[in-house]
Structure 1
Amino acid sequence: MESVIDQACAAALYAEGDAALDTGASLLAAAPDADDALHRRGEEFVTRAWGRGWLPADLVRFVRLELDERRAVLAATLIAAETARYGELPPRWRAQLDELPGRPPAPRNKPDRFSYASDLLELFRLLLRLPAIEPVGPAPGTAADHLHLHRPPAADEPRMLTRIRALLAKAEATGFPEEAEALTAKAQELMARHSIDEALIAARSHSAGSPGACRIGVEPPYESAKAILLDAVASANRCQAVWNGDLGFSTVVGFEPDLEAVELLFTSLLVQGTAAMTRAEAGQRASGRKRTKTFRQSFLMAYAQRLGSRLADSAERATAEADADTGADPESTTAPTGLLPVLAARDVAVTEATERMFPRTTTTRVRGATDLDGWNHGTEAADRARMGSYREGPHGGPGNRPPRGRGGGEIMA
């Protein structure tokens, strides 16, 4: 069976065009006994992807962008089988595996073996040519590197994160704006307080650790506007974001509590923004005006940039309030000299970690808004977004401020 698979892969994976795929698929379709070995070969490609810095969500997202949902489900099947062999998995992997798309029927039950073999070979071809990307954590079976050595989480962290997620989910689902505002404000307070407490505890115990990183999907449509929104959220939470538009994600660098806040807040604000955009479009259609792609692009661009201003302002206020609270007891033997030096040191650490991971980043201009109605509706939606009065977290590192104004924006890429 291995010889048949070797022949099929040699024919299909190292040549361009459909003819090469057809040749390899014909060989596999005629050898049903090779199915198990073929899947093992696919798992080998998945293992290579981990060594090149990819994570499960990254891999499925890229397959979906480059091929389609059908092949993304095939990739998820291979990932689930490959990761089942490990006794332990790195942080964040378990959640990503739980969110993999559903698996297709087994190949031996499919009526069209040729099409199935062709899909697998096209997936293998893509996996074979995956580029190496910056690792954001250890691959399965390897030790953590210097970017990912965090202080062990506090015993109450899982419960706190569960509570924050529940609050944001209720805020997104409720039809009552006042309730949504109260729920999200409480979630923001918990996130900000947790981040500041972590920084102070680390400073007092001299166990600050090192920044880590995570990747967050930034997928079409309107990916530039989404990348600007994520950049604003990251900056406000003492993180830095670097966008890779070709691969459909941004890498966010920061300390673990801040990374968690960025993931939760970005997802919630994007849900709120998309819902507001849908309502605005419905209102425009009811008045007899057609809405276009430019309306949606302009809406989300304005939404992202206006939120950037709000996040920055809230960050400055939150930092000042927390610093005043920290210095309230000058005779304390355990309190640091102040919060600002602690946060400044973390800013420097995040900047240095980002520069190590991305020594050749550039600042990329994105196209500005062209639909005035879309821009105005997006700005109004951002003003209504339920962030709460506290506490989007303190300001991000230098060189990564959210863009301002209506003429487009700049983000690190």
Structure 2
Amino acid sequence: MVERVRGLLRMAEDPSVTDAESQAFTAKAAELMTRHAIQEAEARAERGEEPDAISRMDHVVTGLGGHGKARVKALADIAAAYGCQSAVRGNTSDTTDRTIILVGTVDALEALQLLFPSISNQMEASAKFMSSTHVADIRELRNYTRSELETERKRYYRSFVRAYGQAVAERIREFRARMQENAAQDEADGDSGEQGSQEASSRGADLVLREDVHRVQEEFQKQFPQLRKHRPERTHSAAGYRAGYRRGRQAELGLETTVESGGKETSPLPENAEKAGQGSTR
């Protein structure tokens, strides 16, 4: 399965494929990894084995363009949707690289390691295109200076990236919740004579979506007993945030999430979203 995912991602990163094809390959990879993690946990529970081990992964995030904090926030949100917790080292406001430290199950970390590059590529490509379009549009409104346009472009880009990560994370949570509901429905529809098997399956689903969360929290606290909150970015573009959220909801992830209903996004933007903390750092 992992080799299939790697093959899909290699095709997604092939410069000869179209954007739509690239997103489709990434979509299938994301769905395979998400299903695999849950099914593996259920299988271990049914065999009476220990749950997936908790581990740690360090992921370097580029500070290119001064957008490193926004990228960290987006990736941390996505990691949290997979049940991981994160800390950040070197998350300054300049253009230097920084490291996001993830604690989670081995399956979740393996999925993120494979998927982060492709999801990031889609996010960055969308942010670049949309911020350039935005600057071109406002340039026609009045005579902005070059400095003012560059400031607006950066504000838009950063807000877009943060919102994109939030929207993708929401979709991952929705997909995992649907899998849990489907497992519960399968158990309800099962034959009463298979009670032992149903209990094992129920425990497997619970391992993925509930027990793992507590085990990850405990390990995270052991590794990082004292963390300080780091300051959220002050720069904010409402237009960039709306566009990023919309693109994140529409991004091809293969998670079968309805994007629109009646011409509107299914999940409205929370009014206080930009005031949320950036996570933890050390």
For the aligned pair, the TM-score class normalised by the smaller chain equals: 0.7 to 0.9
Distance of 1:226 and 1:171 partners within structure 2: 21
The corresponding residue for 2:277 is 409
Unaligned runs of 5+ in 2: 92-96, 140-148, 258-270
Percent of aligned pairs sharing the same letter: 26
- 1:152-176 Cα offsets, whole Å, 9 max, x none, are xxxxxxxx22221232343455425
Aligned counterpart for 1:342 among listed residues 207, 214, 219: 207
1:389 shift after superposition: 2.6
**Matching residue within 364, 383, 386 for 2:252:** 386
- d(CA) in 2 for partners of 1:180 and 1:319? 29
1:276: Cα distance to partner?
Answer: 0.7
Q: State the match for 2:88 in structure 1.
A: 243
Once residues 73 and 13 of structure 2 are traced to their aligned partners in structure 1, the CA distance between those partners, rounded to angstroms, is 21
Q: Where does residue 257 of structure 1 map in the other structure?
A: 107
**Cα distance in 2, alignment partners of residues 387 and 315 from structure 1:** 13
Deviation at 1:233, TM superposition (A): 1.5
Shift of 1:357: 0.8
The residue aligned with 2:6 is 165
Distance in 2 (alpha carbons) for counterparts of 1:310 and 1:303: 11
How big is the shift at 1:259? 0.5
Q: Are residues 1:198 and 2:40 paired?
A: yes
Matching residue of 1:19: none
**CA RMSD of superposed structures (Å):** 2.8
> Shift of residue 209 of structure 1?
5.2
Q: TM-score, normalised by structure 2?
A: 0.74
Q: 1:328 to 1:277 in 2, by over 3 A?
A: same
Report what 1:370 is aligned to. 236
Structure 1 stretches lacking a partner, 5+ long: 1-159, 392-402
What secondary structure, in the 3-state scheme, does the structure 2 residue paired with 1:206 have?
A: coil
Instruction: Measure how far apart 1:258 and its partner are.
Output: 0.8
Residue 189, structure 1, aligned to residue 55, structure 2: no
Aligned pair 1:207/2:50, yes or no? Answer: yes
Cα distance in 1 between the residues matched to 2:272 and 2:219:
26
What number of residue pairs does the alignment pair up? 242
Q: Which moved more, 1:252-261 or 1:340-349?
A: 340-349
Matches within 5 A, 1:105-144: none
CA offsets, 1:34-80, max 9 Å, x none?
Answer: xxxxxxxxxxxxxxxxxxxxxxxxxxxxxxxxxxxxxxxxxxxxxxx
2 CA distance for matches of 1:263 and 1:359? 25
Q: Which structure: greater strand fraction?
A: 2
Match of 2:266? none
CA offset digits 1:280-318 (Å, max 9, x no partner): 233245447334322222221222233333333333223
User: SS at the partner of 2:275?
Assistant: coil
Which residue pairs with 2:265 in the alignment? none
- TM-score, scaled relative to structure 1: 0.52
Query: 1:234 maps to what in 2?
Result: 79
Determine the C-alpha separation between the residues in 2 that align with 1:194 and 1:388: 14
CA distance in 1, matches of 2:108, 2:187: 19
Match of 1:217 in 2: 60
The residue type paired with residue 268 of structure 1 is S
State the distance in 2 between where 1:316 and 1:217 align: 29
